[in-house]
Amino acid sequence: MIGLDGAKMSKSKGNLVFVSRLRADRIDPMAVRLALLADHYRADRQWTDDLLKTAQQRLTRWREAAAVTTGPSGADLLTGVRARVADDLDTPGALAVVDDWADRALGGAGDDSAAPELMARTVDALLGVRL
């Protein structure tokens, strides 16, 4: 269940957040996707402005990391994301794997020149997030 202001979102209550409205407000659809992936699919959660803001910041950081010339092992990143997704679709865990890789890449770690492209391809293929 996804809630808003402490109540379940429902058409009858009129408290739905529509992706079309978010897009009209020029919110990147990839940020919306990241916000939805931030919690496990079976967990109750709340849609908040902070959730969306965090997702937008994550998307920006990932895009910056994908643009570096070298980074930590891309193969390790792919293996880590695959493992998290294979474990009951643990998307929060998968996001954490990419966050860790991005933080290290932006910090100058690693010398794998293929890693940034593999990172972008991994998050697109396994999480549906285009960078």
Contact 109, 116 (CB under 8 A): no
φ and ψ of 2, to 5 deg: -110, 125
Contact 81, 98 (CB under 8 A): yes
Does pLDDT of 3 surpass 90? no
Rounded to 10 degrees, the C-alpha dihedral 46/62/83/19 comes to 40
Distances (CA, A) of 7 to 4, 32, 54: 5, 20, 21
Q: What is the pLDDT of residue 21?
A: 76
Does pLDDT of 39 surpass 90? yes
Tell me the pLDDT band of 72, cut-offs 50, 70 and 90.
very high
Domains defined for the chain, CATH in brackets: 2-126 (1.20.120.640)
Q: What is the pLDDT of residue 10?
A: 59
Residue 56, SS3 per DSSP: helix
